[in-house]
Amino acid sequence: MTDVRSLLDSGTDVVADQPVLALVPFVTSLLAVDKIERVADFHGMHVGLKLPMPSAILDLWTFVSIPQTGINGPQAVPLVLLPVYVAVRGLLAAGYLGAIRDALAGRSLAFAGNVRRYGLPLVAFEVLQLGVVLALVLVADVASPLLLVVLPVLLVVGYLFYGAPYLVVSADEGLVDALGHSYRLALGGGAYAGFFVALLVGGAVLSVVATAVVVNLGLAGVALGAVLAAPVAVAINAAAMALFVGLAGPATTAASRPPDHRADSH
């Protein structure tokens, strides 16, 4: 079984070898306009803690507990733009995770080729993920006492299926197969469970510092946090990819190389 320290060593190697990958979490941090507006709208002192969930793209907001303000999702971001945001995030995830896999294998990055190969399933995953979150939020809005149930459900669903986007890339699976594969790995525990717990615990500690800096410094804190969080996010995403490359096995890992990799590496 691969330990978390070894996985993080692989992740930090990817950051050192391919620092350009940090552009992706930096960009997604700045695309979260609603969260930035909520930080800008807050006045006072805020201390918070957030349990970070694994995702295809970790970024600043994975670790920041945002205070409640007069601004919330539907008012801050027009719903008409939500499909665009989800599609952009899914396509970025496809290129990003594929490039991380390339970096772990010592190959040139094939960002465009990975977008073409994995874009559709990862956009679908983002849509599915958003749908689950919105459904649970709607339930909590209709019956506020159920909020205590919603949070554990989000945690369980996140645990069962966090491996899906990584398995789409590392095992070259369709989304349905990757969801099933992730579910089976989750039930088996082992390294899959160990990585999830390590991220929750370590990320929660990091979130205390990140929240204090970002929220209390306002827009300056957002800018500073987006820069500092980007390489950390890459290291953790790369560690997760290293985990799933190992779980997928050498045969499927070799099969997952994009057929047009050579053309995109120049």
**Tokens encoding 22:** 């940090």
Model pLDDT, residue 257: 54
Model pLDDT, residue 69: 59
Q: Say if 112 falls within a structural domain.
A: yes
Q: Say if 226 falls within a structural domain.
A: yes
The domain of 64 spans 4-259
Q: What radius of gyration do the chain's Cα atoms show?
A: 18
pTM (two decimals): 0.88
Q: What's the chain's length in residues?
A: 266
| Average pLDDT per consecutive 10 residues, the chain (266 residues; last block may be shorter) | 84 96 96 90 87 93 83 50 88 97 94 96 94 81 73 91 97 96 96 95 94 94 96 97 86 49 42
Q: Say if 251 falls within a structural domain.
A: yes
Domains contained in the chain, number: 1
Q: Say if 182 falls within a structural domain.
A: yes
Q: Say if 264 falls within a structural domain.
A: no
Model pLDDT, residue 201: 94
Model pLDDT, residue 44: 83
Model pLDDT, residue 16: 96
Model pLDDT, residue 155: 92
Q: Which of 106, 114, 112 is nearest to 14 (CA)?
A: 106
The DSSP result for the chain, as a single string, is: ---HHHHHHHHHHHHHH-GGGGHHHHHHHHH-HHHHHHHHH--S-------PPP-SS--GGGS--PPP-S--HHHHS-GGGHHHHHHHHHHHHHHHHHHHHHHHTTPPP-HHHHHHHHHHHHHHHHHHHHHHHHHHHHHHHHSGGGHHHHHHHHHHHHHHHTTHHHHHHHS---HHHHHHHHHHHHHH-HHHHHHHHHHHHHHHHHHHHHHHHHHHHTHHHHHHHHHHHHHHHHHHHHHHHHHHHHHH-HHHHHHTS-TTHHHHT-
Q: Say if 241 falls within a structural domain.
A: yes
